[in-house]
Chain A
Amino acid sequence: MGGLTLTHFLVLGALLFSTGVLAVTLRRNAIGVLIGIELMLNACNVNLVAFSRFTGNIDGAVYALFVVMLAAAEAAVALSIILHVFSHAASISVDDYTEMKG
């Protein structure tokens, strides 16, 4: 691998994950929060594929494939919910979705 170690990829995954945390906590737009979640899922996938490569076991890549599939399903459901709430509350800001407050 030309001097690249597992740590290189794990640190990249950690950086991407922290950026996802930043997006989720910073954004008040609901789609922005969704973008942060996609960043976090990508970071997890980088780690899974890196472990798969460095252990010589294909299971990590298969698991990453399932994560990609779940991310697609999650994005579709979340966006349909956002669109529905948007037509109901006329707002895209997560701060305005307070009707379910206990």
Chain B
Amino acid sequence: MRLQFHRTLYAGTAIDAALGRFAHLANTRFDRSETPEYFVVEVSASSPARSRAVAHELANFALGLTIEQGGPDR
């Protein structure tokens, strides 16, 4: 599942921190890339349902960290 985090809404450091916390998950791959507007994370797990669940949790985690630090990186 592909997640797109808008650069003006999410902190790149928060996304990296979230990826760090999720890196231990077995049989799950996270491919990070960037476009001029977005941080992009492709989540691949053992099944589409699991990819979806992990992606949603990752997005929540990244959003929580972004808000706790007061918004995108300056």
A and B bind:
no
Q: Which residues of A contact B (CB under 8 A)?
A: none
